[in-house]
Amino acid sequence: METMGSSFDERDDERLLRATAAGDPRAFSSFYRRHLAAVLGFLLRRTGDERTTAELAAETFAVALLSCQRGLTGGETPRSWLLLIAERELRESRRRGRVRSAGRRQLEMDRIVLDVDDVRRVRALALLDPGAAILHVVDELAGEQREAVLARVVEERDWDDIARELRVPEATVRRHVRVGLAHLRTRLSAEPA
């Protein structure tokens, strides 16, 4: 399993995706290393299974690589775009009862086979996600409240965009975020340092 390397590419994520679309393979490699921990953490918190997480992460990055030619839509950040792909792959895998492999097949990637060390590495990389420390508390929030907080705070999306997605008035989204953040402050201040 690929791990995060120490080489650092100073280009921002949007430039990396544009360079990837223009044919620079090193650009996507940098994008991958930069976001691998976040994607693994996001998926592992939802699946609880390292092998499924690794397979979903591989498919997420394969789909992202195939999709970066189209560019980002609707003002989303590259990270939120990537996490939306991960969430869509997770939802689809739950619906089908297995992880899709269409993106990996199109890129002619080998099937992932993990040994015990790889499983440990997935968990370790997932814990490197800087947001992992508080996201276990975010997962305690009620459904729409959690979605609103993640969309507004983590993905930095606009209020009206979140309201459209959740199919609720903007005032409701603002209330969900306000109440959710208050809950997070209370829970995090109560946790031992």
Q: What is the DSSP letter of 87?
A: H
pTM, two decimal places: 0.60
- Which distant-in-sequence residues (6+ apart) come within 8 Å of 44 by Cβ? 50, 53, 122, 123, 126
Instruction: Report the candidate in 11, 73, 4 with the shortest Cα–Cα distance to residue 38.
Output: 4
Per-residue pLDDT at 48: 83
Domains within the chain, CATH numbers bracketed: 1-130 (1.10.1740.10), 131-193 (1.10.10.10)
**pLDDT tens, the chain, 193 aa long:** 444 444 467 888 888 998 998 989 899 888 988 888 888 888 888 888 888 888 898 889 989 988 887 766 666 678 888 888 899 899 988 888 877 776 766 666 666 665 667 667 766 766 666 555 566 667 678 878 888 888 888 777 889 989 998 899 999 999 999 998 888 878 766 655 4
